[in-house]
Amino acid sequence: MRSAKDRSWIAHIMDKQIEKRCEAWFAAVNCVLWNFKSLYFISWIIISQHQFTSSLLPLLLLLLLLLLFFFFLVQLILITFVLNLFPSNDFNRTCYLPSMGKQRSSQRKNAAMLDSDDTDSVSSSSTIRSDYVMASALEDMQFDKDSVLDQCLDALYEKRGSTREKALADIIEAFNSSLPHEFVEKKFATLLHQCLNSVKKGSAKEIALASHAIGLLALTAGPGEKSQEILEESVTPISEALRSRSEASKIASLLEGLAVIAFVGGNEPEETERCMQIMWQVVHPKLGPNVVAAKPSPGIIAAVVSAWSFLLTTMDGWTLDPKSWQESVSYFSTLLEKDDRSVRIAAGEALALIYEMGNLEKFCGSSKVTSDGSTNGDISSRDVNYIHGLRAKVLNQVRDLSAEAGGKGSAKKDLNNQRNTFRDILEFLEDGYAPESSMKIGGESLTTTTWSQLIQLNFLKRFLSGGFVKHMQENGFLHEVFSFTPKKKLLSSADRVSGTDKRMYRSPNSILNKARTQFLNKQRMMSQDRNAGHYASGFDEE
């Protein structure tokens, strides 16, 4: 709970306006008094000069009395209005109204008591006004955030591509910094279709931003009808955009967006497997006999394998179609020989996941193999030998990469990362121990103990980037995915403070801090006046 001093300085930010109102009050009172004195003086002259007959004199006196009563009524209304605006204790202290008789003496006696405790120096009226000011400020902040998203949504209708790109970037930033559930509830369909229009018709940069925004929209909406609609509406436009094979950054964003959309909205295995097949066709396209496929770049290959593995974590291996994936292990084995370390790491993690699922035989083109390697009638001895040979080949490749001395690969800064990853894979293949990882989020530990969890965690960290912690603290869907309960939830939507708001409220040079300094200085001066017994300074009694 805030102390009285913390509440009071916020309430007195508008102190100058209060003083102006006080000056206006005194000006009105003085005007009434001046009119009263003038009328009295004129009436005295008229009566003293006997310019009226005795029959008209009572009528004149009655008229003067009515005018005096009117001015007195106006004065009374003004005083009542001002005193209702400013309660008596706070108004007297702020505007230094004179105190009379016993009230002044009692205030002098209590001055030391008031100064002894700063938390009691502000009246209940100040507390009420300070709470109102804070609530109004927080409401304005939330309104500003919603209005920014509304403006970005309107900007997606603009013809200029750069304007739409800027709007999409702002939407991504807003969804990373907070979870705008109210905005999603009201504008979900509009935002989705505008982003899909950008995927269909935009530039490479706009397509990358739009696909990322759709993924964030699905994560914020969570599992349910909205995420299912996102998946149904997005699969076709994204798959068509993937066929263009333009910039690697665009392809990577499309793959990540499709993976997140299917991860949240894919309720049926067939839906998820369809998305995995779309990803697979990026590196293994179905072409005609006379068409030569363009060789995908290492970045695209790594993105495909990473997104494919991310979706595989949600699947039961035995529900997969064996005809679609029977060559996947062999393909991943060839990727371990590539020069690009990101490709090797992605392929190694995919192989570890397949081993962890216990479905190596299915991914090699066989339906079932017993633990001792014997067949059950559905697999030939030739297939068994092939599987054992492939398993031994992968093990040797992993062992070599875990001890690589360097020189192979273009990015040497990733060498340690590669060694650590393949040491974990080697330990898992030889001994069955999956790596454990732990990270602190809001004072609570998020722990992974399987390859499936680790792949999900790393993928979502890359996708959410700076918004990962925010989503892990507030996104209920991610809480269920990782069985994570945040120790301390962030502030509610009415109390969220953005970076700009923090600078406005907490910076030493902010307007509010300067106003607080001025208020504290005035409080010290008031305290000195109370100690000296001067509650009514600057006004002489008439």
pLDDT digit string, tens, across residues 22-34: 666 666 667 666 6
Whole-number pLDDT of residue 127: 45
Which of 35-49, 258-272, 426-440, 451-465 has the least mean pLDDT? 35-49
Whole-number pLDDT of residue 70: 75
Residue 384 pLDDT level (bands cut at 50, 70, 90): confident
- DSSP 3-state percent helix, strand, coil across the chain (nearest 5): 70, 0, 25
CA 501/CA 495 separation, integer angstroms: 11
The pTM is what? Answer: 0.64
Enumerate residues 6+ apart whose C-beta is below 8 A from 287: 293
- pLDDT 10s digits, 122-134: 444 444 444 444 4
> Which comes out higher in pLDDT, residue 461 or 266?
461
Asked whether residue 260 carries a pLDDT value surpassing 60, the answer given is yes
Of the candidates 101, 118, 124, 75, the one whose C-alpha atom is nearest the C-alpha of residue 535 is 101
Residues 137/13, Cβ–Cβ less than 8 Å: no
Percent of the chain with pLDDT over 70: 56
Asked whether residue 207 carries a pLDDT value surpassing 70, the answer given is yes
Average confidence (pLDDT) over 350-362? 83
Average confidence (pLDDT) over 183-196? 95
- pLDDT 10s digits, 427-438: 999 999 999 999
Residue 3 pLDDT level (bands cut at 50, 70, 90): very low
Asked whether residue 65 carries a pLDDT value surpassing 60, the answer given is yes
3-state secondary structure of 318: helix
Which of 50-54, 216-220, 470-474 has the least mean pLDDT? 50-54
Average confidence (pLDDT) over 273-291? 80
Average confidence (pLDDT) over 146-151? 84
Residue 317 pLDDT level (bands cut at 50, 70, 90): low
Both structure tokens of 163: 């304007």
Whole-number pLDDT of residue 69: 72
- The amino acid present at 90, given as its one-letter code, is D
Whole-number pLDDT of residue 146: 65
C-alpha distance from residue 233 to each of 213, 229, 264 (Å): 14, 6, 14
Residues 276/311, Cβ–Cβ less than 8 Å: yes
Give 70: exposed, middle or buried? Use CB within 10 Å, 0-12, 13-18, 19+. Answer: exposed
Residues 418/344, Cβ–Cβ less than 8 Å: yes
Whole-number pLDDT of residue 77: 74
Residues 443/487, Cβ–Cβ less than 8 Å: yes
> Which comes out higher in pLDDT, residue 288 or 261?
261
Residues 204/462, Cβ–Cβ less than 8 Å: no
Whole-number pLDDT of residue 294: 74
CA 288/CA 200 separation, integer angstroms: 25
DSSP string, 155-208: HTT-S-HHHHHHHHHHHHHHHHH---HHHHHHHHHHHHHHHHHHHHHS-HHHHH
Whole-number pLDDT of residue 189: 95
Whole-number pLDDT of residue 437: 93
Asked whether residue 393 carries a pLDDT value surpassing 90, the answer given is yes
**Residue 98, φ and ψ in degrees, nearest 5:** -70, 140
Percent of the chain with pLDDT over 90: 43
Whole-number pLDDT of residue 442: 85
Whole-number pLDDT of residue 390: 86
